[in-house]
Amino acid sequence: MKTIKTVGVCGAGTMGSGIAQVFAQHGFSVVLFELNEAVLQQAQKGIEKNLSIAVEKGKLTETEKQKTLSGITFTADLNQVKADLIIEAIVENMAIKQNLFADLVAINTTETILTSNTSSLAITAIAKGISQPGRIAGLHFFNPAHLMKLVEVIKGASTDEETIETLKALCITIGKTPVLCQDSPGFIVNRVARHYYVESLKILEENACKMQNIDELLESAGFKMGPFKLMDTIGNDINFAVTSSMYQAFHQEAKFRPSRIQQQKVDAGHLGKKTGKGFYDYSA
């Protein structure tokens, strides 16, 4: 197995910042890259807030908080993203991801492991044209990354066993539970959970029930969060993109059809908690 001491995270949105926090809390030297300076600043504030909450709850000391913050370098310069392991957590767009991976390969050594936090795009396709594709894999965290234990470790067609074993061991080191997945649409969780969202949206489209009632019903059945609350937490743009990706991957299978209602939310910029409005209003 390879030794991982430094970690680069590309994308400082909700997922990227959470992933960076997790590694920094466990003593890794982390570089968090984001082109948008405003998003980068927000990520820094968000990480500090998460750590402060942990201190208040007695799960972290003030010293540990400061050590974690000092372990993260925030940058808008991709040339600084040189590490033993790099995790991409940017927009769910194949071409953009492939271009980023090509840029990362150019500035890193052949020993660097390159991973994607994609929810549904094929790891094999992301790795296409990249030298040493055996070092490319999926490393899919769940929101919020600093709290959720599960991580999907995805093996592409060319991913070698050393890469997989290194990533599985690394997940355990940072307190996560790794689950090995083959490279298939939606992997495990998103394939199983997709209908939690899609069927709930169909019920809403048909005016069979109000979204509040759907959320209440499913929460009463044991789910920690109803589908509409969860979509607002994830981000309707991200959730819609994953559904659309899986719809195409399954050759327009009707059961994966994206919702017109959710598309309207995305078009209107009502993305959920991060914009103050989604299916619910968070502006108050």
> Does residue 140 have an active-site annotation?
yes
pTM of the model: 0.86
Q: Residue 26's pLDDT band (boundaries 50, 70, 90)?
A: very high
Q: Which one of the listed residues 117, 120, 158, 190 is annotated catalytic?
A: 190
Domain range summary for the chain, segments of one domain joined by +: 6-182, 191-275
The CA–CA distances, whole Å, from 250 to 44, 191, 246 equal 38, 11, 6
If one counts every other C-beta atom within 10 angstroms of the C-beta of residue 192, the result is 10
> Does residue 119 have an active-site annotation?
yes
Q: Provide mean pLDDT across the span 195-203.
A: 96
- Output DSSP code: residue 226: -
If one counts every other C-beta atom within 10 angstroms of the C-beta of residue 202, the result is 15
* pLDDT tens digits, 211-269: 999 999 999 999 999 999 999 998 999 899 999 989 998 999 999 999 999 999 999 99
**Token couple for 36:** 């948008």
Number of continuous H segments (helices) and E segments (strands) in the chain: 11, 8
CATH classification (class only), 6-182:
alpha beta
Nearest CA among 148, 33, 25, 151 for reference residue 82: 33
* pLDDT tens digits, 83-139: 999 999 999 899 999 999 999 999 999 999 999 999 889 999 999 988 899 999 999
Beta bridge partners of 88: 10, 116
Q: Which one of the listed residues 34, 88, 92, 152 is annotated catalytic?
A: 152
| Domain 191-275 CATH assignment equals 3.30.2080.10 | no
Nearest CA among 229, 281, 239 for reference residue 259: 239
Beta bridge partners of 139: 153
> Does residue 146 have an active-site annotation?
no
> Does residue 270 have an active-site annotation?
no
**Token couple for 145:** 């990354």
Q: Which one of the listed residues 108, 116, 117, 119 is annotated catalytic?
A: 119
Report the SS3 class of residue 9. Answer: strand
* pLDDT tens digits, 248-263: 989 999 999 999 999 9
